[in-house]
C-alpha cells in the first residue's frame, strides 16, 4: 500500500488492477489516455461503464478554456492529497507540478499547508489553498471565501476549484480504501510530462510574462 515514507510494493491491494490488454476496447483506450499507465486508472477500470466517461471528464480538466491556471489546478490537487492523507495522489502529481515550475520549497510548504509567503505564492494560490482546506475540514467553503473566490477567480474559477477537489477527493478515497500500490518508476518522467503538457506549459509561461510586464 502507498504510504508517505515507504515505497515498498506490497501487492496487498484489495481490488484488482485491470489489464489493458485484456480489457474491452473502450476501456483499453481510456487506460492509455496518458503516455503511461497508472494503478489508479487500473483500479477505476473495474467499474468499466463509469470509467470511460470519467476519463473524458478528467481529460477535460486540461481544456484551454479552463479558468484556473495549470499550476493552480495542481495546487488544488496537492492540497487535497495532503489533507486527505493520500500519498499516491501526491506521488503522481508532484512531478506534474514540477513541470509547471513548482520548487522544492514551494512543494514542502504546500504539503505542510503553509501558503503564507507572498513571495512564493500568489493571492489566488493562497485563496485556493484555503478553499480546499475548508472543503476537507468543514465540507463547505465559507461564505467569506466564496465571495473572495467569486471576485478573485470568477464564478468559473471558483467552481473549477470545487470540481477538481471533488474529483481528486474521490480518487484519494478510492486509493486509500483499495490500498493502492505506488506505480513502478517511470524513467525520464519529467521530460515525458513536459512534452505531454507542452502546450499547457507554454500558455502558463506566456501568462506569467504578461503579468510580469503589467
Q: Which residues contact 76 (CB under 8 A, 6 or more apart)?
A: 68, 128, 132, 161, 164, 165, 168
Q: Which residues contact 50 (CB under 8 A, 6 or more apart)?
A: 44
Distance CA 40, CA 167 (A): 13
- The CATH superfamily label for domain 67-212 reads AhpD-like (1.20.1290.10)
| Amino acid 160: pLDDT | 97
| Amino acid 213: pLDDT | 42
What ranges do the domains of the chain cover?
17-60, 67-212
Distance CA 121, CA 174 (A): 30
| Amino acid 208: pLDDT | 63
Whose CA is closest to 100, among 118, 77, 123, 130? 77
| C-beta separation of 100 from 77 below 8 A | no
pTM above 0.85, yes or no: yes
- Other CB atoms within 10 Å distance of the CB of residue 209: 9
Q: Please list the pLDDT of the chain residue by residue as tens digits (214 residues).
A: 789 988 888 889 999 999 999 999 999 999 988 777 899 999 999 999 999 999 999 988 888 888 999 999 999 999 999 999 999 999 999 999 999 999 999 999 999 999 999 999 999 999 999 999 999 999 999 999 999 999 999 999 999 999 999 999 999 999 999 999 999 888 888 888 888 888 888 888 777 655 434 4
| Amino acid 71: pLDDT | 93
Here the cell at position 130 is: 484555503
Cα-based torsion angle of the residue sequence 53, 88, 195, 68 in order, rounded to the nearest 10 degrees:
70
Whose CA is closest to 190, among 97, 124, 119, 113? 97
| C-beta separation of 88 from 2 below 8 A | yes
| Amino acid 212: pLDDT | 38
| C-beta separation of 78 from 107 below 8 A | yes
Amino acid at each position: 500500500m502507498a504510504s508517505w515514507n515507504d515505497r515498498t510494493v506490497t501487492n496487498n491491494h484489495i481490488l484488482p488492477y485491470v489489464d489493458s490488454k485484456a480489457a474491452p476496447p473502450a476501456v483499453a483506450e481510456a487506460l492509455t489516455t496518458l503516455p503511461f499507465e497508472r494503478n489508479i486508472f487500473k483500479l477505476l477500470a473495474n467499474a468499466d461503464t463509469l470509467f470511460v466517461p470519467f476519463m473524458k471528464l478528467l481529460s477535460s480538466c486540461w481544456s484551454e478554456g479552463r479558468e484556473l491556471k495549470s499550476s493552480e489546478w495542481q495546487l488544488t490537487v496537492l492540497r487535497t492529497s495532503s489533507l486527505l492523507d493520500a500519498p499516491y495522489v501526491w506521488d503522481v502529481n508532484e512531478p506534474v507540478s514540477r513541470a509547471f515550475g513548482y520548487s522544492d520549497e514551494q512543494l514542502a510548504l504546500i504539503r505542510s499547508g503553509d501558503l503564507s509567503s507572498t513571495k512564493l505564492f500568489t493571492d489566488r494560490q493562497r485563496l485556493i489553498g484555503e478553499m480546499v482546506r475548508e472543503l476537507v475540514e468543514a465540507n463547505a467553503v465559507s461564505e467569506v471565501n466564496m465571495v473572495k473566490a467569486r471576485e478573485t477567480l470568477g464564478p468559473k474559477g471558483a467552481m473549477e476549484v470545487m470540481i477538481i477537489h471533488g474529483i481528486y477527493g474521490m480518487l484519494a478515497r478510492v486509493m486509500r480504501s483499495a490500498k493502492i500500490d505506488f506505480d513502478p518508476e517511470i524513467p525520464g518522467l519529467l521530460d515525458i510530462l513536459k512534452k505531454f503538457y507542452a502546450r499547457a506549459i507554454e500558455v502558463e509561461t506566456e501568462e506569467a510574462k504578461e503579468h510580469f510586464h503589467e
